[in-house]
Structure 1
């Protein structure tokens, strides 16, 4: 590859990133008297989430899966079989250097989710997005330390928050991948790790990461809450998960006393029995989160899942804490099943965000996305394609270019 050409291409991408950042600032200014005025800082009141006026706000929305954490099963990450975000970034670093890699990843992100997508989410009647992030968004993958915090750590996330605010949509920041990994899953950003539980440096860097996030967004009413650890499935014990959440809770609270903190019961029995009464831990202004997936199950079993979730929420009413279904999917079943789940959660008083806004797991209609592909655009081979080809291929995957609304789920 010609070094001058690569430099010019990187320069163009950096200019594009600068323009996007400028657009974020313009959006914030433009919406300061409209959408931002409609959002107020959320907090908990008993088993409900409420705004500053004390009015109940039930969060209803989607996950922006495959966006800041690439999951190759559901997004056009790589056709060559690289298994996770870490591997893709590492390969791009090795081939093109860190600056070009970061520009390419930003190009992917800017195609996968655009301003039009937030308008789509609003038009579908939703008021929330859950945004999975991982440590590689904040630290360089080759050097994880407090001193190596990325200068652009918040560039894309700030853009998300500004776009959401412009549409009157709340943002939940979901830590899908702590430093070292909280499970062996590829959705942590790097598969086969699970080192967080036994590595003090990883725990410290994760606590610092959450402190930085909370410091950056404290006082921002668009942020609905901080989801501390997604699906800690391979922890050595229940007490290890509770202890980890307690430490991260304290890290956030040391700088941000106001935002909701979300704690998941997504391991072991995958229910409320995994979590303590928050009063015993001294946790305040917290929401408890569950995920609902009935894998390879019949329609009746899938339909019963939302009923069971609401019953579990009510059976733990003594906890006096709001419930939130952070991920759920009713798979290939009809709109009546999907809308039955929506009705159960709405009537049961639980907030919810289903997985996912868009996915490449199957052509439209397919249960994994509110938007699904209408055709198969090209997925690049990160190990062999040129940087220009990788970027051009990723840029084909905008929602407007390659996806259609999935009416089979029953949303408007």
Structure 2
């Protein structure tokens, strides 16, 4: 690419960022007059989540998967086989430099989720979004330290919170990838790591990251809560998970005494038996979270899975803590199975966010999304496509352009 073309391309990128910031400003203005007045800070009361007036709020919503953490199986982030967000960012850094890489990644994010998507979520009857994030959203991938904290660390996340507030939707901030990784999964942002459990620096940088997040959103009523560690399946023991939860809980509480903290029961199996009674740890204003997936199971087993989750919640009523199903997906069966699980969680008093709002895992209506592709737009090859082609290819993947609503599902 010649210097003139590169300059024009850079200008277009900067214009898009400026427009996004302008849109964020308009959303903030709208929020100040409408939705922010409707939302109130959530807290726990016994086994329920309540608003500031003591009214029970059952969170029902979606995960914004593939957005701030790219997962190649479910988003059009790369057609060349790069396995995770870290690899994609590294490749873009190598080809175009850090500044252009960050502009390109933000370009992707701005196409994947727009203000129209929050209107879609509201129109479908949901009141919450769970937003997976990872350490690379806050630290440069080549400088994970206090001094390396990104100057734009909260640009996109602030936009999400403000866009959600404008629709009266709560936001759960979900740490999908701690520094060093809590498992070997690509959904941590960088696969084959799992170093968090044995690396003091990784643990310290993760604690600092959560302190920064909690300090930034302290007092913001749109944020429903902080989900400390997503699926810590790589932990060496159950006690290691509880120890990590306790450390991160203290980091958050030192900056933010008011928000709900969400703690996942993951290691070994998805049940409440691995989690302590919160009173034994001195934890207050916490929610316990499970995920419910029954891989390749029969319809009856899938439906029984949701029943088991509610039974487990009730069997631990002495914990006096709300229950939340942070991830689940029964889309592979007919709408009766999906509705059965919805009704089971609703009637059981558990909050829930299914996976995912949109996904490229299959054509509509057989994918993993509330919105699935209506056709296959072009996915760029991050290793070989030109910068302009990457921009134009990602721009095709807005929900309005390439996706269709999964009308086979029913909603209450």
Structure 1-normalised TM-score?
0.99
Q: Aligned partners of 1:323, 1:23: CA distance in 2, in Å?
A: 35
Equivalent in the alignment of 2:9: 9
Q: Structure 2 stretches of 5 or more lacking a match? A: none
Q: Decide whether the 8 Å contact of 1:63 with 1:130 is kept in 2.
A: yes
Q: Aligned partners of 1:394, 1:367: CA distance in 2, in Å?
A: 20
Equivalent in the alignment of 1:318: 318
Q: Aligned partners of 1:181, 1:7: CA distance in 2, in Å?
A: 37
Equivalent in the alignment of 1:84: 84
Q: Decide whether the 8 Å contact of 1:138 with 1:209 is kept in 2.
A: yes
Change (3 A) 1:380 1:367: closer
1:114-150 CA-to-partner distances (Å, cap 9, x unmatched) read 0000000000000000000000000000111010100
Equivalent in the alignment of 2:226: 226
Q: Aligned partners of 1:330, 1:381: CA distance in 2, in Å?
A: 32
1:60-103 CA-to-partner distances (Å, cap 9, x unmatched) read 00000000000000000111100000000000000000011001
Q: Decide whether the 8 Å contact of 1:371 with 1:403 is kept in 2.
A: yes
Equivalent in the alignment of 1:192: 192
Equivalent in the alignment of 2:138: 138
Equivalent in the alignment of 2:52: 52
Alpha-carbon deviation of 1:13? Answer: 1.3
Q: Aligned partners of 1:6, 1:228: CA distance in 2, in Å?
A: 41
Alpha-carbon deviation of 1:312? Answer: 0.3
> Equivalent residues in 2 for 1:206-285 (5 A)?
206-285=206-285
Between stretches 13-22 and 197-206, larger displacement belongs to 13-22
Equivalent in the alignment of 1:153: 153
Q: Decide whether the 8 Å contact of 1:133 with 1:176 is kept in 2.
A: yes
What's the Cα RMSD here? 0.9
Q: Decide whether the 8 Å contact of 2:241 with 2:267 is kept in 1.
A: no
Equivalent in the alignment of 1:71: 71
Q: Secondary structure at the match of 1:181?
A: coil
Q: Aligned partners of 2:151, 2:7: CA distance in 1, in Å?
A: 20
Equivalent in the alignment of 2:382: 382
Q: Decide whether the 8 Å contact of 1:367 with 1:409 is kept in 2.
A: no
Alpha-carbon deviation of 1:243? Answer: 0.4
Q: Structure 1 stretches of 5 or more lacking a match? A: none
Alpha-carbon deviation of 1:367? Answer: 4.3
Structure 2-normalised TM-score?
0.99
Q: Aligned partners of 2:157, 2:7: CA distance in 1, in Å?
A: 26
Alpha-carbon deviation of 1:17? Answer: 1.1
Q: Aligned partners of 2:64, 2:321: CA distance in 1, in Å?
A: 25
Q: Decide whether the 8 Å contact of 1:46 with 1:322 is kept in 2.
A: yes
Q: Aligned partners of 2:55, 2:7: CA distance in 1, in Å?
A: 53
Equivalent in the alignment of 1:335: 335
Q: Aligned partners of 2:10, 2:137: CA distance in 1, in Å?
A: 19
Alpha-carbon deviation of 1:14? Answer: 2.0
Q: Decide whether the 8 Å contact of 2:182 with 2:235 is kept in 1.
A: yes
Q: Aligned partners of 1:143, 1:32: CA distance in 2, in Å?
A: 36
Q: Aligned partners of 1:21, 1:247: CA distance in 2, in Å?
A: 35
Equivalent in the alignment of 1:296: 296
Equivalent in the alignment of 1:396: 396
Q: Secondary structure at the match of 1:16?
A: helix
